[in-house]
């Protein structure tokens, strides 16, 4: 190889690295966020009976997350449960956490269970649920349902419409764990972390496994993705399709069928196709989010909800995804929300029928679990 050919190959490599990095920052925009957020204190944002926790992903890498329990008389709250399970497991969940009263929960305060009398055993953190002996404290009750919430492409778990959704779910007696992907919020990474479909899905997988380690074995888990989080959710389902312990259901709120289809709806992308191969760049950037392929293999119930006046992800893309699910005999149901409701992309939780939809979802999951 001559000097010119070598220089040309290096130039192409540099262009590819730069272009894929830019593409990931166009689709995933964690840097678009309010300044001075206090993510370690959910109570600051009006989220009560909640704690801030850290979820290990890779060595030296953690996710920030909120664990939110419903307000149920007579049941142990989030802080006490977290003290118990982390005490018996000999860990403190990473950095100091704050409960809903703003008090730090640290390893020195973990005194609920005696380690000599209680042992937390799990066949494998990656594959199975926890089995407790001696101390029967879990993060959840046997008949409860947990929502693992995977948000969209901007901001953090504290964004306004997300907080209002948590409250709605909490009011219905549901447990919620809301996480920020690596590169987002107070999770590992920063601007230079190259978020991708694979990294976000792995964050979701490890969050699910974290839940399975600490919740009661009979508790149901529903993975709820919104916007870009729907692509993460279907990829997560694909990653878990061959393991014994999988989520009990999936909710796709304002989904797209693939990132290629979604990007194709933007005028700027249509113009850019005359200059660059956008589809190829999405593939090279690990940003295809091919939900219409992943959804075909999901055996658990899938619930899709989409507002007809969504101006970010067209209603038609969610409908197309549902049609693919039906074609492949998936256990799927579609909840369309009319234009007259003015719900847009972020406000489906405001629909008058929202509580009824959630109750139907939970009821269906309970029936499916017993079948």
Active site residue 84: no
* 90 close to 83: Cβ distance less than 8 angstroms: no
Question: Would you tell me the crossing angle of helices 228-239 and 197-214 to the nearest 10 degrees?
Answer: 70
Active site residue 72: no
**Which is the catalytic residue, given 151, 226, 306, 345?**
345
Give CA torsion, residues 22, 27, 32, 33, to 10 deg: -140
Active site residue 310: yes
Sequence-ordered strand ranges (E) for 59-200? 61-68, 97-98, 104-105, 119-122, 130-133, 145-150, 175-179
Q: Report the distance separating Cα 145 and Cα 74, nearest Å.
A: 18
Q: Is 129 exposed, middle or buried (0-12, 13-18, 19+ CB in 10 A)?
A: buried
The token pair at 29 is 């925009």
**Which is the catalytic residue, given 187, 207, 227, 291?**
227
Q: Report the distance separating Cα 358 and Cα 347, nearest Å.
A: 15
SS (H, E, C) 289-308: CCHHHHHHHCCCCEEEEEEC
The token pair at 296 is 């075909």
**What is the separation of C-alpha 42 from the centre of its chain, rounded to a whole number of angstroms?**
17
Q: Burial letters for 217-241: b for 16+ Cβ neighbours within 10 Å, e otherwise?
A: eebbbbbbbbbbbbbbbbbbbbbbe
**Which is the catalytic residue, given 203, 286, 310, 346?**
310
- Positions annotated as catalytic residues are 227, 310, 345
């Amino acid at each position: 190889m001559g000097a010119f050919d070598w220089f040309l190959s290096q130039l192409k490599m540099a262009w590819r690295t730069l272009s894929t990095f830019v593409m990931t920052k166009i689709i995933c925009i964690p840097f678009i966020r309010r300044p001075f957020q206090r993510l370690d204190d959910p109570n600051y944002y009006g989220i009560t009976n909640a704690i801030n926790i850290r979820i290990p992903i890779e060595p030296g890498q953690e996710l920030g997350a909120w664990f939110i329990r419903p307000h149920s008389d007579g049941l142990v709250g989030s802080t006490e449960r977290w003290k118990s399970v982390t005490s018996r497991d000999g860990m403190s969940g990473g950095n100091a956490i704050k409960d809903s009263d703003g008090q730090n929960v640290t390893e020195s305060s973990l005194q609920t269970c005696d380690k000599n009398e209680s042992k937390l055993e799990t066949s494998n953190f990656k594959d199975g649920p926890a089995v407790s002996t001696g101390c029967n404290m879990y993060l959840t009750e046997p008949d409860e349902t947990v929502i693992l919430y995977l948000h969209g492409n901007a901001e953090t778990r504290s964004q306004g419409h997300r907080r209002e959704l948590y409250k709605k779910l909490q009011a219905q007696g549901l447990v919620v764990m809301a996480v920020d992907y690596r590169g987002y919020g107070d999770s590992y990474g920063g601007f230079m972390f190259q978020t991708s479909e694979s990294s976000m899905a792995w964050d979701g997988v490890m969050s699910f496994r974290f839940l399975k380690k600490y919740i009661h074995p009979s508790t149901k888990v529903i993975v709820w993705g919104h916007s870009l989080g729907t692509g993460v959710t279907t990829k997560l389902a694909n990653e878990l399709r061959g393991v014994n312990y999988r989520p009990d259901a999936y909710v796709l709120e304002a989904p797209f069928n693939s990132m290629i289809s979604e990007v194709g709806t933007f005028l700027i992308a249509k113009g850019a196709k005359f200059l660059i191969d956008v589809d190829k760049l999405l593939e090279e950037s690990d940003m295809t989010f091919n939900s219409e392929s992943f959804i075909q293999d999901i055996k658990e119930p899938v619930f899709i909800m989409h507002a007809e006046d969504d101006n970010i992800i067209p209603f038609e893309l969610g409908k197309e995804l549902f049609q693919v699910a039906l074609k492949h005999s998936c256990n799927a149901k579609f909840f369309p929300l009319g234009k007259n409701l003015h719900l847009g992309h972020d406000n489906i939780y405001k629909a008058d029928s929202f509580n009824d939809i959630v109750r139907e979802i939970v009821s269906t999951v309970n029936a499916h679990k017993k079948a």
